[in-house]
Copies of this chain bind each other. A is one copy, B any other.
Amino acid sequence: MRLSQFFLPVLKENPAEAQIASHRYMLRAGMIRQSSAGIYSWLPLGFRVLKKIEQIVREEQDAAGALEVLMPTIQPADLWRESGRYDDYGKEMLRITDRHGRDMLYGPTNEEQITEIFRAAARSYRDVPKLLYHIQWKFRDEVRPRFGIMRGREFLMKDAYSFDLDYESSRRAYNKMFVSYLRTFERMGLQAIPLRAATGPIGGDLSHEFVVLADTGESEVFCHRDLLEFRAPTDIDYDGDLQPIVDRWTSIYAAADEMHDPAECPVPDADLVKRRGIEVGHIFHFGSKYSKPMGATVTGPDGQETELQMGSYGIGVSRLVGGIIEASHDGDGIIWPDPVAPFHVGIVNLKAGDADCDAACEGLETQFANAGLEVLVDDTDERAGAKFATMDLIGLPWQIVVGPRGLKNGVVEVKRRRSGEKEETTLEAAVNKVVGFE
C-alpha cells in the first residue's frame, strides 16, 4: 500500500480530550474518528488492527469447538421481559420504539436472545453440549463515555454461550473458554491473567475476568510473581481434560484491587507484585439463571425435562485495540506486536520521485509481499523528520529507510520499532532480516 493512496489523517498535536495513551495515539495515528460521545468510526489503519484482533479471537473460538452465529443488534423488549432483566437493566440499555410503537432495544449482551434460539431448536440430551458465539456490535449507554474506544458506547464484542445437560459438562465448556482465552491473548502479544471475579449483573456462581497487564491500566492487580512467568499452553486437546490447566492458573494468587485484602493475602510480601491492568475478557457460569425463567429445557437420557446449564464468555474486541496500545507504546507512539500490526513493514522513501529510490522501494515492497508480509510505503513528499515521526507514531514493527545516499553505497537502514535498534544493510539483507524474523 502506498501512503499517497492510503487514508491516514495523522494529527500533529495531542487532542485535548484524550487522557490516556491509547485514546491519544489512536486519534493522532488516524485510526479512529469520533462520531458522537463514545461512538467512533474506524479509519483504515484502525480497521486493519480491529480485523486482525477479531480474526485471532475467531480462530481460537473455532479451535475450542465453538460455532459462529450472528445475532442482530436490535432485540425485542419482550425477550428481556421473559428473563426479568428488562426493568433491571437501567439507563445503560438503549431503549428504542419502532414505527409501530413496539419496544425494542440495542443489545448490550445476548443471553436472552441465544437462549430463545437454543430452546426453539434443542429437544433432547443429544442436542447438547453446544457452544455458540458471535462477534457483533453492542451498545451500552454509558453516562460518561471516556478513554476513546476503551469505554465507548458502541463497541465490538465476542460473546459465546454454552448449553449443557449438567454442571460437570457445563464446567468443561467453562474450561474450554478459560484455556482458549489464555491462547487468544497470548497470540496478540499480551500478558493476560485470570482473576476470580464477582459475577455482577450477568449472575451465576463462577466467574473469572481476564486482565491485560499494562503500566497505564485502569485498575490495580495483585498477584504472586510466579504468575508473570506463566505461558499459555500449546497444542491443546479441547476434548481432553482441561481441569489441570485451569487449576494451575487459578491456584496461584491473583486478585483485583477490590478483592485484595492485605491482611488475608497468602502471598509473602517478597513474592507479591502489584501491577496495573485492563479487563479484556470475562467468563461466567450461571447454571439455569436464564434457562429456568425462559423454559429452555431438553429431555434427559432418563426422559425427564431438564433445564439447560449455561455460561457466557465475553471478549472486548474493540477494547483490545486500546488495551494492546496501553500495554505496548512509548513516548513516540504505538509499538504493535507483530500479530496485530496493521502492516508488518513500513518503508520510508526519503526521495519520492527519484528513480533509484522509487525502484528500490518497489523492489522491497514486492519481495515482502511475496513473503506474505503487508507493507506501507511512505511515498509522499513530506520532509524526512515528519516521515520518521509518523512511522514511529503508527508503530509498524519494522521500518526500512531508503535514501539516495545509502543507495549509492547499496544500503538501506532497517529499524526494529520495539527495540529502536537500527542497522545499515544491503537491500537483500534487509529483506532476509525481516522475513527471517517473522
Give A contacts to B, CB under 8 Å: 4-7, 9, 30, 33, 35-36, 39-44, 47, 50, 65, 67-76, 79, 91-92, 94, 96, 98-99, 102, 104, 106, 113, 116-117, 120-121, 126, 130, 132, 137, 139, 141, 143, 153-154
Contacts and interface: CB of A to CB of B under 8 A. Distances in A.
User: What is the total number of copies of this protein in its complex?
Assistant: 2
A411 to B, nearest CB: 31
Chain A binding surface, main DSSP class: mixed
Contacts of A113: 35, 41
A16 to B, nearest CB: 16
26 contacts: A33-B120, A35-B74, A35-B79, A35-B116, A36-B74, A36-B75, A36-B76, A36-B104, A41-B69, A41-B70, A41-B113, A41-B117, A42-B71, A43-B69, A44-B67, A44-B68, A47-B68, A50-B70, A72-B137, A74-B94, A74-B153, A91-B99, A94-B96, A96-B96, A99-B141, A137-B137
A42 B67 contact: no
Contacts of A116: 35
A30 B5 CA distance: 43
A53 to B, nearest CB: 13
Contacts of A69: 7, 41-44, 47
Contacts of A36: 74-76, 102, 104
B104 A98 contact: no
A41 B134 CA distance: 10
B70 A141 contact: no
A124 B111 CA distance: 49
Nearest to A40: B72
A416 to B, nearest CB: 27
Contacts of A35: 71-72, 74-76, 79, 113, 116
Given A33-B117, A41-B113, A91-B99, 7 more contacts: A7-B121, A30-B121, A39-B72, A41-B117, A50-B70, A94-B98, A96-B96
B67 A99 contact: no
Contacts of A98: 94, 141
B9 A99 contact: no
Contacts of A141: 98-99
A68 B42 CA distance: 9
A346 B65 CA distance: 19
Given A7-B132, A41-B113, A41-B117, A154 B73 contact: yes
A243 to B, nearest CB: 21
A30 B67 CA distance: 14
A5 B75 CA distance: 27
Contacts of A143: 99
